Chains A and B, each alone.
Chain A
Amino acid sequence: MTVNISYNASEKNKLTKSFTLLTSLTGEMVNESSVTDPVLLIQNLTDSVVANMNYAEIVEFNRKYFITDIVHVRQNLYRVTLHVDVLSTYAEQIKNHSAVVSRQENKWNLYLDDGVFKTYQNPQIITKAFPSGFTTQNFVLAVAGG
């Protein structure tokens, strides 16, 4: 079994992550393990790897993982808890899906009420005059008869 330990610099909710490989490990599964939430016992990790590792990939499980916990068991032995990163693992399949998108960074319709867009308490007042109005004054005398 091959486990790639990495440092992930991307946002947790980013579909395709940018991560830096710190070390690649090989070993055997001794006991049963969850495929989505495996727990690994890893020996001989360097201090720099321990300090920076937050991401992993188990090639045989075909999944990428967040490192959710690192426990120092004893000298040179760490227990590392993983949780599957479903977005990165299934990124290509997700991209093939169509969906009703409620909010988007670049494709939007601003005529929909945002609901969270904020405005200041002091609105702007604009007056616009019509081109013409009442420009003259005249007497009108009403007399009975013709």
Chain B
Amino acid sequence: MAYITTDKGVITLCNITNVVEFDKIEDGKVWVYYTVNNVLSQEHTDIFSLIPYSRAEEYQRITAINGNYINAQHEDTPSGSNLYPYKYAMLLSDDSFVVHDTGGNDSYLGESELLLMYAEIGGTVYFRFRTIQNSGGRYYDAFDIETSELISEWIERGAGDPYEEGGISGTGGGSGTFDGTGDAIGFPSLPTLSAVSTGFVTLYAPTLAQLNGLASYMWSGGFDIDTFRKLFADPMDVILGLSIVPVAVPISGAQDVKVGNISTGISMNKASTQYVNVDCGSLQVKEYWGSCLDYAPNSKCQIFLPYIGTRSIDIDEIMGKTIHVKYAVDILSGALVANIMCGSSVLYSFTGACASSIPVVSRDFTSIISSAIQIAGNIGMAVATGGLSTPVTAASAVQLGVAAGQTAMNVANSKPSVQHSGAVGGTSGMLSVQTPYLIFELPRQSLPKGYNTFGGYPANITLQLGTCSGFTKVEMIHLENIPATDAELNEIETLLKAGVIL
């Protein structure tokens, strides 16, 4: 080998031009025979230690292995009047890199240096010596595996591909897990803490007769204002709210209604909890076509939810699945959430309000009316969207060569989206439909007789052509073992890709 070890870790020799033989790799070092002045020496010397390549430390790049060439690259760094190779690395067969540091400016090296490029592929070692010129720039070196022919291209510093610093493309991907397992997302549980537990609020589920009795009491003279606990300026302030809710209120038993801790003598059923579930049941959504027409964008779906309104849902998420709607209702505030389970997971949650407030004092009535007016302003609003493709007009439909009619996707995209309802919360909700329902918009086919015989249906399947019958259109094929001319082969491929009848 044409190298010796110096205290700088550099292994270089001067004026060595003869290739020597590789001996062995041992203890992480490469051992070779080298010649000096054409005299073969049989001494062994280590070249460098094999270390893992670290790109962060090495600014040189190894170009790709292509064909029979293994490219190594290094860059000269200027050092006074003499320029010496600073670092270079070589790719080894185990994807590790050998980093060789020449140590830079060393007058002992003289004007030329010999650098070893080494690689081991398939158990065979290849190596090459070359002489480095002393000038700034970059060498792109390669040597042929079979012939050891050295090819070297000198690139001046700054020249080359301006984008090369951004990285060279390579292979990638193929490491997907293909793990399609998921987690079921169930309906949420009702909250465990509620206002009725605090003692600050008591909820009653009175009958109409009981409400009549309480109203009579509140307006009667039997109310002793002196014994009224001074928590309220107005006894009516004790009544926090009276509403109608569209749910069955769970009760914990009858209780005397107290106003400001004063017994009214009116007994009402007390609500046991603030939150109630309303289960609207399940629907099995089945494919109508058994094809892509059942899915977006060809088909669409909306859902009407009582006390919420109409909402759009992704038909792809419900098709072929069981759809389960369950409401969680807060009977104190009237707020509710409709959770929609598609298959095994809740995919949609929509909020609304279901309590219809009954005015007890004048301010209640005012707020109720203003809320109703605001809700009324949203009803019936149509939102036109879509129109992504130009509708077929009469003029274009008769244009020569243009077939009339639109494909399923164009029809779906050209339709505006119309809102089927506005906000239907509170009293408005009680005036609306009380059962959820799905609204499907499905395409209506325009199918010429014998369509599949003329043009077939999409396949994207690898088939042996001999097993096919009828119209067949090929997308990809490799024609071989056919005693046809080149022109005939081209014509065969063209015809197969245009469609043939087998």
A51 touches B (CB below 8 Å): no
Partner of B460, one of A14, A36, A112, A139: A112
Partner of B201, one of A86, A129, A142: A142
A135 touches B (CB below 8 Å): yes
B485 and A36 contacting across the interface, CB-CB below 8 Å: yes
- Give a binary string over A94-124; 1 marks a CB under 8 Å from any B CB, 0 the rest: 1111111111111111111111111111111
B259 and A143 contacting across the interface, CB-CB below 8 Å: yes
In the complex the two chains form, what is the Cα distance from A139 to B485 in whole Å? 90
B385 touches A (CB below 8 Å): no
In the complex the two chains form, what is the Cα distance from A7 to B239 in whole Å? 100
In the complex the two chains form, what is the Cα distance from A15 to B472 in whole Å? 10
Residues of chain B from 412 to 469 with CB closer than 8 A to chain A in the complex: 415, 430, 433-447, 452-453, 455-466, 468-469
| Minimum C-beta distance from A101 to chain B (A) | 5
A116 and B473 contacting across the interface, CB-CB below 8 Å: no
Total number of A-B contacts with CB less than 8 angstroms? 340
Interface size grouping (class) on chain B: 35 or more
A70 touches B (CB below 8 Å): no
A106 and B470 contacting across the interface, CB-CB below 8 Å: yes
Q: A113-B409, A142-B240 are in contact. Are A128 and B440 (CB under 8 A)?
A: yes
B204 and A112 contacting across the interface, CB-CB below 8 Å: no
B482 touches A (CB below 8 Å): yes
- Residues of A within 8 Å of B205, CB to CB, are 138-141
- A-side interface residues, number (CB < 8 Å): 65
- Give a binary string over B101-118; 1 marks a CB under 8 Å from any A CB, 0 the rest: 000000000000000000
Stretch of B28-36, B219-227, B285-293 contacting A (4+ beta carbons < 8 Å): B285-293
| Minimum C-beta distance from A144 to chain B (A) | 5
In the complex the two chains form, what is the Cα distance from A86 to B488 in whole Å? 6
Residues of chain B from 197 to 212 with CB closer than 8 A to chain A in the complex: 199-208, 211
Q: A110-B292, A132-B280 are in contact. Are A105 and B243 (CB under 8 A)?
A: no
A100 and B441 contacting across the interface, CB-CB below 8 Å: no
- Residues of B within 8 Å of A116, CB to CB, are 407, 455
A103 and B472 contacting across the interface, CB-CB below 8 Å: yes
Q: A140-B245, A143-B258 are in contact. Are A36 and B472 (CB under 8 A)?
A: no
A130 and B283 contacting across the interface, CB-CB below 8 Å: yes
A44 touches B (CB below 8 Å): no
In the complex the two chains form, what is the Cα distance from A94 to B492 in whole Å? 9
A108 and B439 contacting across the interface, CB-CB below 8 Å: no
Q: A97-B464, A100-B477 are in contact. Are A140 and B430 (CB under 8 A)?
A: no
List 11 additional contacts besides A104-B463, A127-B439; criterion CB under 8 Å. Answer: A105-B452, A108-B452, A118-B407, A119-B407, A131-B281, A132-B435, A134-B354, A138-B248, A141-B204, A143-B202, A145-B238
9 nearest CB pairs, A to B? A105-B470, A133-B435, A131-B281, A110-B291, A95-B466, A103-B456, A108-B457, A112-B458, A99-B477
Chain B positions near chain A (C-beta within 8 angstroms): 199-208, 211, 214, 231-232, 237-249, 257-261, 268, 271, 278-283, 285, 289-293, 298, 306-307, 325, 331-332, 354-355, 358, 403, 405-409, 411, 415, 430, 433-447, 452-453, 455-466, 468-485, 487-488, 491-492, 495-496, 498-502
